[in-house]
Amino acid sequence: MEGERRASQARSSGLPKGGADGESPGGGAPFAGSSGSSALLQSEVLDLDEDEDDLEVFSKDASLMDINSFSPMMPTSPLSMINQIKFEDEPDLKDLFITVDEPESHVTTIETFITYRIITKTSRGEFDSSEFEVRRRYQDFLWLKGKLEEAHPTLIIPPLPEKFIVKGMVERFNDDFIETRRKALHKFLNRIADHPTLTFNEDFKVFLTAQAWELSSHKKQGPGLLSRMGQTVRAVASSMRGVRNRPEEFMEMNNFIETFSQKINLVDKISQRIYKEEREYFDEMKEYGPIHVLWSASEEDLVDTLKSVASCIDQCCKATEKRMSGLSEALLPAVHEYVLYSEILMGVMKRRDQIQAELDSKVEALAYKKADTDLLTEEIGKLEDKVECANNALKADWERWKQNMQNDIKSAFTDMAEENIHYYEQVIVHCGGMRRPCQDGCWQASVSYSGMASKPTWQRSLPGNRL
C-alpha cells in the first residue's frame, strides 16, 4: 500500500514512476529529468577541478562558433555543430587525429624540396572516410595558413616554422633541420585540429584529404588577382588612416602583446645562448676522459683515482648530453613558438584595426555627406556587424590563447627544471663517492690539474665541488 501511494504521488507530481526521490524502478541511477539527478550532476561538476576547463571552453568556444559569422567557411551540418559543443557532463572526446611523418626529398631540374606524409584519422561524419593519407610540401602549409587568416581574420592562427634556415646552418636539408621542421608542422596541424572553430574550416579539410592534383585545382578556385589586389589596397588605405578610437580593452591587449613580445624574445635569446654554452662545455668535457686515462699510465700512485675521474667524466658527458637533448627538444621549441605567436598576434591586432578603420572612414564620409547617404548607411550597418563579430571572435580566442600559452610555458620550464634536477642527481650518484678512495689529497691534485682548470664552469660542475 505504501508503494502504491508513493507511485500515485509521483504520477500526480509528474515524477518518474520509480519514486519521488528520482530513483529508477530498479533502484539504479537517477533519471536525467529528476531534481535529484540535477543536483547530483551539479555537485559533480563543481567538485571536479578538471571539469572547470570544459566549462570555460564551452562558454568561449560556443561564442567563437557564433560570432565569427562573417567567415564563409563555417560548417552547416548538424554533426559539425554538435562536434563543436563540449558539454559539461561529457568528456572531451577527440575525433580528429593527425600525424606528420616520413619526410621525403624531391629533386627536379628546377628545385629541390621536401614533402611530408600526413595521416588523418577521424570519426566525423562530414569526412568521406575514416582515414586519409596525403603528402604535402611546405608551400602547401603556407597556403593553408593564408586561407585560415583570410576566412578568420581575428582568430589566432598557430604559427608555422620559418621558411628559411637558421643562421649558421650550412646544409639546408640536413637531418636535424628536417626533423625540427617536421615536429613544428605536426604541432601546427594539431593545434588547428584542437581549435573549436578552425578545425571545421573547409580548406583545412581539403588540405587533409585531397590528393595533390585535387589540392592544386582547389587552390585555383580562390579569388582572382584583381580581387586580391583590391582587398590589399583597401587594407593598406585603412592602415594608413589608423584607428582613432580603439576600445580600451584592445588597447590593453595591444600593450600586453608588445610587452610579451619583448620578454619572450629575450627569453628566446637567453635560451639559445645557454644551449650554445652547454654545447661548448660538452665538447670540451669529452676531451678530459681520454686525457685522464693516458695520465694514469704514467702515475702509478694515482692510477685508481685518475681512472675513477675518467669514468666520472664519461658519466657526466652522458648526463649532459641527455640534458641538452631535453633543452633542444622541449624548452627551445616551446619558447620559439611563442616568439612566432607574438608576431601573429600583432598581425591579428592589425587586421582588427583595419576592419574598424574601414568603419570609421564610412562614418566620417556619412557625416560630411561625401557620398550617397542611403548606400553609406547600409554599408555602415554591415561594417558595424563585421566589427562586432571581429571583436568578439578575438576576445574569445584571446582568452583561450592566453590559457594555452601559460600552460605551455609553465610545462616547458617545469620539465626543464626536472631535467636539471635529474642531471645533478645522476652526477652525485656516479661521482659523489669519489672522495672516499682519495683522502690523501689526490682528488684535489687531479681537480687542480691545469688541463681541467681552463674553464670556471667546468670547475663549478665537477663532482666534489659545491654544485
Q: What is the per-residue pLDDT across 367-393, written as a single tens digit (0 to 9) for each?
A: 776 556 777 777 888 888 999 999 999
Q: What are phi and psi of 67, to 5 degrees?
A: -80, -20
96-222 and 248-461 share one CATH topology? no
Q: What is the per-residue pLDDT across 68-99, written as a single tens digit (0 to 9) for each?
A: 444 444 444 444 444 444 434 444 578 899 99
Q: How far apart are CA 341 and CA 396, in angstroms?
A: 17
Q: How far is the CA of 306 from the CAs of 314, 317, 433, 436, in angstroms?
A: 12, 16, 14, 14
Beta bridge pairs of residue 119:
99, 133
Cell for 356? Answer: 574598424
248-461: what CATH class?
mainly alpha
Q: How far apart are CA 258 and CA 331, in angstroms?
A: 22
Beta bridge pairs of residue 465:
463
Residues 6+ apart with CB under 8 A from 183: 333
Domain ranges of the chain: 96-222, 248-461
Half-sphere exposure in the Cβ direction for 272 (13 Å, CA): 12
Of the candidates 47, 69, 45, 71, which has an alpha carbon nearest to the alpha carbon of residue 58? 45
Task: Evaluate whether the domain defined by 96-222 bears CATH number 3.30.1520.10.
Answer: yes
Residues 6+ apart with CB under 8 A from 364: none
Q: What is the per-residue pLDDT across 280-304, written as a single tens digit (0 to 9) for each?
A: 999 988 888 888 888 888 888 888 8
Q: What is the per-residue pLDDT across 404-418, written as a single tens digit (0 to 9) for each?
A: 999 999 999 999 898
Q: What is the per-residue pLDDT across 129-147, written as a single tens digit (0 to 9) for each?
A: 999 999 999 999 999 999 9
